[in-house]
Structure 1
């Protein structure tokens, strides 16, 4: 699988997928990587901690903590599942983030292109997030007691704005001086089952565009000077991955022998008309992005504003 990913220049956004690839058929845990799994009624929570640089090199991920919430009903607007995920997100973020003073400003960043539905998760997240910094400055009496200053931006993409995302965020950080940044972005999966069913949170920051091989400047604490929490959900999968899975399943069901080299060559020929790369998203992606962005916004909202109800938080969405 590693050779296949390298051949098609596919980046692995999800830590749980990186873990599975590294384990391979041996199923031996990677030295320097800790894993904890919690199974709830509607969701499974996997926490992967990469503890040293050697493990980070093997996993292809920066050192830090990665929390993955998996729930097939996530892409369905189920209120019970929604509430369970929001609670799990808030709890996981609280455990992941160092103590932030209750009056400190938090900057929310929604990455992606609002004109392309699969890439609009970040901008939608900002749309549904509670934004309060301007109330603190101009109408503090309109705030519920205990609400910290929060501000948000959807900076767009380089091809639309002509501005590197890092440049935009760095300028805002220097002006606003937030205590922490929460960045939300759409991810690419290496398994079709994860589209719209998985949320990943990490304290390692994010590299915009990595999932489609278009790496930009990393948004992390090293570059921005403040802690960066990255949150994402897979909305696309590469066509090469789907084709490879289909060939493997056919061989398994029919008793034929799977040959990775032959499979790769066949897929390469089929995708040659698209420069060897083609990303696929389901037809219901608009509903997935809408529902997931709302859940993420409230999960982060309950983390930032503990004790305040969802109904109250929704009043401060832009």
Structure 2
């Protein structure tokens, strides 16, 4: 942490969000990180964070690949606000369109990563289930669709434990056969903050590493491995138990010390420890129960259904201009 690099932090906190990696490195929100540009805007309850990793210096600082990361933060999604969900879907469509720069003749392959048998990891397959796929229609009966649709196909390849095959190997085989112009991968992510779980959507043009959210990194799905541009869409659905415990202890110590300045010996000891020392202590205590213990909200079933509808609706509108026009017209009246 002393050198302003994420290298001393990655052992502490598990996060797939570029905005969180930048926040951990920056001493204050106003501090500039060499090689990293961060912009934030807010509109009607939707915060849009843009993190650009400009060079290798920035990559080293925050531990994220050179590229662009857009994060939509919407705390109100926890309240099942339908009009808000619609606005989020529209904002997601706009940001994805700006990043992908879709062309009329573009062929798109959507990959829903994750295990459909495990709810916190089922986002990718759920989104694929609700997509409007058109590649077969354009090949066999193009007159059925008319104008305003692009060629879209999709697959939910499962996980290594279900198939015995590396997910990236499955996708590479498909890419080599159907030759898409763009691959869009959807996956569940990990956050270091419970407040961002299921309220945040990240879009990145750097690809993705399946399983990274639960500390089980597989071969990357990116332009280098597939030979075509890859955009990753992810939603954090879990938090590392060690991180939650550390945050809880930090807050408890601060509160109890304020209430009782003299304090007790244990709280005085904890207050005097560096944060990395606290983290190491908690990790050691939890290790017998499983070092990779992840936590997710109890209402995860409902949340995954809601967020998958937001993402799939946004993708359908981004892929097919006729749907985007219909959605835009609907919100004008």
TM-score (norm 1): 0.91
- Counterpart among 45, 50, 53 of residue 56 in structure 2: 53
Distance 1:33-1:266 versus aligned 2 partners, 3 A rule: closer
Larger radius of gyration: 2
- Counterpart among 300, 305, 325 of residue 285 in structure 1: 300
Quote the residue 2:144 is aligned against. 142
**Superposed displacement of residue 139, structure 1:** 2.6
Distance 1:85-1:220 versus aligned 2 partners, 3 A rule: same
Q: Map 1:111-260; keep pairs closer than 5 Å.
A: 111-255=113-257, 256=267, 257=271, 259=273, 260=275
Instruction: Write the distance in 2 (CA, Å) between the matches of 1:3 and 1:102.
Output: 42
**Superposed displacement of residue 304, structure 1:** 1.2
Distance 1:24-1:128 versus aligned 2 partners, 3 A rule: same
Distance 1:147-1:281 versus aligned 2 partners, 3 A rule: same
Contact 2:23 2:29 (8 Å CA) reproduced: no
Instruction: Write the distance in 1 (CA, Å) between the matches of 2:296 and 2:306.
Output: 16
Which range is displaced more, 299-308 or 46-55?
A: 299-308
1:263-317 CA deviation, whole Å, 9 max, x = no partner? 23441243122232210111101111111111111111111112325989xxxxx
Contact 1:75 1:291 (8 Å CA) reproduced: no
- Counterpart among 293, 298, 302 of residue 313 in structure 2: 298
Q: Map 1:93-104; keep pairs closer than 5 Å.
A: 93-98=96-101, 100-104=102-106
Instruction: Write the distance in 2 (CA, Å) between the matches of 1:239 and 1:310.
Output: 43
Q: Secondary structure at the match of 1:184?
A: strand
Q: Which runs of 5+ in 1 are unaligned?
A: 313-318
Quote the residue 1:316 is aligned against. none
Distance 1:123-1:75 versus aligned 2 partners, 3 A rule: farther
Tell me the C-alpha RMSD between the 2 structures.
2.1
- Counterpart among 36, 40, 45 of residue 42 in structure 1: 45
Bigger RCO (CA 8 Å, 6+ sep): 1
TM-score (norm 2): 0.87
Q: Secondary structure at the match of 1:102?
A: coil
What is the number of equivalent residue pairs in this alignment? 310
Distance 1:244-1:80 versus aligned 2 partners, 3 A rule: same
Instruction: Write the distance in 2 (CA, Å) between the matches of 1:258 and 1:202.
Output: 39
Q: Which runs of 5+ in 2 are unaligned?
A: 258-266, 328-333
Instruction: Write the distance in 1 (CA, Å) between the matches of 2:110 and 2:239.
Output: 26
Contact 2:114 2:121 (8 Å CA) reproduced: yes
